[in-house]
A and B are shown apart, each in its own frame.
Chain A
Amino acid sequence: MSKSEWPLWEVFIRSKAGLDHKHVGSLHAVDSEMAIENARDVYTRRQEGISIWVVESENIHASNPDESESFYEPSDDKIYRHPTFYELPDKLKHM
Chain B
Amino acid sequence: MADNKLDYILQLADNALIYGHRLSEWTGHGPQLEVDMALSNISLDNIGAARSFYQYAAEIEGGDKTEDSYPYLRDVRDFKNVLLVEIPNGDFAKTIARSFYFDCFQFHFYTALQQSSDERIAAIAAKSIKEVTYHWRYSKGWVIKLGDGTEVSKAKMQEALNDVWDYAGELFAPNKLELEMQAQRIAPDLAPIKERWDNSINEALKAATLTITDENGDWHHNGGKDGKHSEHLGFLLAELQFVQRAYPNSEW
Task: List residues of chain A with CB under 8 Å of any chain B CB.
Answer: 1-2, 4, 6, 27-30, 33-34, 37-38, 41-42, 45
Q: Would A33 and B141 count as touching, CB distance under 8 A?
A: yes
Contact of A27 with B34 at beta-carbon distance under 8 Å, contacts A33-B141, A34-B141 already known: yes
Task: List residues of chain B with CB under 8 Å of any chain A CB.
Answer: 30-34, 36-38, 41, 137-138, 141, 145
Please, could you name 23 A-B residue pairs with CB atoms under 8 Å apart, sorted by A? A1-B31, A1-B33, A1-B36, A2-B31, A4-B32, A6-B32, A27-B33, A27-B34, A28-B33, A28-B34, A29-B34, A30-B145, A33-B141, A34-B141, A34-B145, A37-B38, A37-B137, A37-B138, A38-B37, A41-B37, A42-B33, A42-B37, A45-B41
Q: Provide the bound-state CA to CA distance between A30 and B153, in Å.
A: 14
Question: How would you classify the secondary structure of chain B's contact residues: helix, strand, loop or mixed?
Answer: helix
B23 to chain A, nearest CB (A): 13
The answer, among B31, B34, B145, for a CB contact under 8 Å with A41, is B34
Contacts of A30 in B (CB 8 A): 145
Contacts of B36 in A (CB 8 A): 1
A28-B34, A45-B37 given. 13 additional CB < 8 A pairs?
A1-B31, A2-B31, A6-B32, A29-B34, A34-B141, A34-B145, A37-B138, A38-B38, A41-B34, A41-B38, A42-B33, A42-B37, A45-B41
Q: Provide the bound-state CA to CA distance between A72 and B41, in Å.
A: 43
Chain B's closest residue to A29 (CB) is B34
Q: Would A42 and B34 count as touching, CB distance under 8 A?
A: yes
Q: Would B32 and A28 count as touching, CB distance under 8 A?
A: yes
Chain A's closest residue to B41 (CB) is A41
Q: Provide the bound-state CA to CA distance between A42 and B31, in Å.
A: 15
A50 to chain B, nearest CB (A): 14
B142 to chain A, nearest CB (A): 9
Contacts of B31 in A (CB 8 A): 1-2
